[in-house]
Structure 1
Amino acid sequence: MHKTLLYLFITMLLIGCKKKLTKVVSYHDNGSIKEIYYIDKDSIEHGEKISYFPSGRVYYKTYLTKGNYKDTVYYYRDDDKNDIKFKKFFLNNDFTYYEDFYTNGNMGQKGVLNDDDQRIGLWKNYDKDGNHHFTKEYKIIDGIEYTNQMWITLPTGDTLTEGVSIQYHFDKNKLQLTDSIYAFFQTEDSAFDEEDKEKTTVSVVLPKDYTQANFVPDFSNRAKDPGEKEGIPAIEIQSLKEHPNPMAVLQNPIDTTDYKKTVAFYWKPKRTGKDTIRGYFKEKLTLVDESKPIQLDKDQDSIITSYTKRIYFEFAVEVTKD
């Protein structure tokens, strides 16, 4: 008896709520339904919303709460199967979680989009058989989506030594003002081919004085190279190969450390509070073409061409008093 009364109460409540919403239907030029959604007394969308292709197939469907997309939005293909092509879920920070799918239903890729629909962070990509193929890390640099790193993987999950990536770590994220952070960077795989990567040099670029001017999140205020006048002053820390005593810099030094592709240093804070260490790892290839002399400068008898790959990083720290 109590269950029956509860069921009747819920039914009446749902009917009462539904009466407060007005169904809205719009149409394509061909007469087929374009959209169906509901609005409340203030003309704010609430509840289920379905959009259709001119063919009559579902284009997308979702559920709105007081005009906001608080639920997953499912987008469909305009074909006979009319299956899901991709879906989005709107996160609280105005970012969007995204997944898309192959026609066989297996996932293609997944990751997070910012409010400009640019990929950020780690994105996983899969082949048509559902195997994890590779992972890309995206950052927004100068306002543009930038592929920062990439790792290629086997179906077993093992990482291949292909792609463009580095390994790096800071030994602590909380420290006192008199302390320092140890930083270690090393190329996992070069941005250049097997022959050229033997000619590359690596370094890490940081703001010269972050208390005066730090790199902004999209690094748009950086100098394109430390020697350039535009952008905030920066310092460039060369690889251990250029260091007079690399063993003094390395923590727990090991014989297998490749000094040519490794940068290690100590970072000392200059103020208390929360900070962010921003910088980039730079791999540079310089080619000299001695077969094409430059006539304008008698002291320069060859053409020098350089190519640079930058991998950007940021690391949050908290500094306390002694």
Structure 2
Amino acid sequence: MLKTLLYLFTTMLLIGCKEKLTKVVKYYDNGSIERIYFLDSDSVKQGEVKIYFSNNRIKLKGKYRDGSFSDTIYHYRDEEKNIVEVQNYYFNNGTYLYKDFYINGKLKQEGLSNKNDQRIGLWKNYDKDGNHHFTKEYKIIDGIEYTNQMWITLPTGDTLTEGVSIQYHFDKNKLQLTDSIYAFFQTEDSAFDEEDKEKTTVSVVLPKDYTQANFVPDFSNRAKDPGEKEGIPAIEIQSLKEHPNPMAVLQNPIDTTDYKKTVAFYWKPKRTGKDTIRGYFKEKLTLVDESKPIQLDKDQDSIITSYTKRIYFEFAVEVTKD
């Protein structure tokens, strides 16, 4: 059990309005210092903090502001050379930039985490020689950390997709109320193997009427699939293969005739101001057990199995009057 010596002595530190801080020292049972930090008059942690291993080597060094970590926090390996293992830079909104390092000092990975320690956005990973190895994109979906896409960087510098990934773009982010946005989506790599991906279908799912209710940032209020009664009603835009005249919605020629993996459409605003287009690209594999006859009776066991991979996106727009 740690021995604690509270209010060992007080010292004056220049923070805020030169408030008097109380230095707190905690000890291991062997008598070595476990940590040193400071409390303000409300017993809230402020200023510098140091934490040690039981062998007196530094374990953590950083700073508190109003009880939370602030600025850069260094976590050290239990090594004589005080090698940094993890470095976090904390922002005022509670998010922080995370970096960890190999024992040789080379950067291993870096990316942004939220205040719940969930990874968000693009995270870059490196090998022990410092070469960029792969990138993962994380989103928070239904409150849970979700791997959205992944790209591997080859020694040549080229990028290889891993798992399902897509390319997509909207042709403008500012428009007038009478204008429309052109959206283009295309699969770069399927989530399924070579044999099964020939049986997949792709589509884009959007709120049915975003002026009434849009998807929230973590999509937790969405209908899990179009047609479901619970959640925000959604519409599903099928691939160009299902379109009667695909050339009518293709704004520019594309380098493939594989309309099966391409979704394109026009999005027309219904109100002025700043807005966000939220939705997801869906790749679905449906398997039918051909050894059994198709069952039309809903009371009988289904012989159809489906697997779905979703890639979530959001795009900020600003709409002005004519």
Give TM-score scaled by structure 1 length.
0.88
Kindly indicate whether the alpha-carbon contact (under 8 Å) linking 1:142 and 1:219 is maintained by their aligned counterparts in 2.
Answer: yes
1:260 partner amino acid: K
Instruction: Give 1:311's aligned residue.
Output: 311
> Quick one: structure 1 residues 296 and 315, their matched pair in 2 at CA, closer, same or farther if it must change by over 3 Å?
closer
Distance 1:274 1:286 in 2: 38
> Quick one: structure 1 residues 289 and 101, their matched pair in 2 at CA, closer, same or farther if it must change by over 3 Å?
same
> Quick one: structure 1 residues 63 and 295, their matched pair in 2 at CA, closer, same or farther if it must change by over 3 Å?
closer
2:93 aligned with 1:59 = no
Instruction: Give 1:74's aligned residue.
Output: 74
Distance 1:241 1:299 in 2: 33
How far apart are 1:80 and its partner, in Å?
4.9
Instruction: Give 2:259's aligned residue.
Output: 259
Kindly indicate whether the alpha-carbon contact (under 8 Å) linking 1:73 and 1:88 is maintained by their aligned counterparts in 2.
Answer: yes
2:217 partner amino acid: P
2:107 aligned with 1:111 = no
Kindly indicate whether the alpha-carbon contact (under 8 Å) linking 1:28 and 1:34 is maintained by their aligned counterparts in 2.
Answer: yes
> Quick one: structure 1 residues 292 and 63, their matched pair in 2 at CA, closer, same or farther if it must change by over 3 Å?
same
Kindly indicate whether the alpha-carbon contact (under 8 Å) linking 1:290 and 1:301 is maintained by their aligned counterparts in 2.
Answer: no
Secondary structure, counterpart of 2:237 in structure 1: strand
Distance 1:221 1:152 in 2: 32
2:193 aligned with 1:212 = no
Instruction: Give 2:132's aligned residue.
Output: 132
Distance 2:292 2:103 in 1: 52
Distance 2:88 2:160 in 1: 30
How far apart are 1:48 and its partner, in Å?
2.7
Instruction: Give 1:6's aligned residue.
Output: none
Kindly indicate whether the alpha-carbon contact (under 8 Å) linking 1:292 and 1:302 is maintained by their aligned counterparts in 2.
Answer: no
How far apart are 1:301 and its partner, in Å?
9.1
> Quick one: structure 1 residues 210 and 302, their matched pair in 2 at CA, closer, same or farther if it must change by over 3 Å?
closer
Q: Which runs of 5+ in 1 are unaligned?
A: 1-14
How far apart are 1:298 and its partner, in Å?
8.9
Secondary structure, counterpart of 2:241 in structure 1: helix
> Quick one: structure 1 residues 268 and 66, their matched pair in 2 at CA, closer, same or farther if it must change by over 3 Å?
closer
Q: Deviations over 1:150-169 (max 9, x none)?
A: 11111343102433310100
Deviates more, 1:300-309 or 1:114-123: 300-309
* Structure with more strand by fraction: 2
Aligned ranges for residues 1-80 of structure 1 at < 5 Å? Answer: 21-39=21-39, 44-65=44-65, 67-80=67-80
Give TM-score scaled by structure 2 length.
0.88
Secondary structure, counterpart of 1:116 in structure 2: coil
How far apart are 1:87 and its partner, in Å?
1.1
Distance 1:244 1:148 in 2: 31
Distance 1:295 1:171 in 2: 45
Distance 1:253 1:232 in 2: 34
How far apart are 1:46 and its partner, in Å?
4.1
1:139 partner amino acid: K
Instruction: Give 1:99's aligned residue.
Output: 99
Paired positions, count: 308
* Structure with more helix by fraction: 1
Distance 1:76 1:196 in 2: 47
Quote the RMSD (CA, aligned, Å).
Answer: 2.5
Instruction: Give 2:7's aligned residue.
Output: none
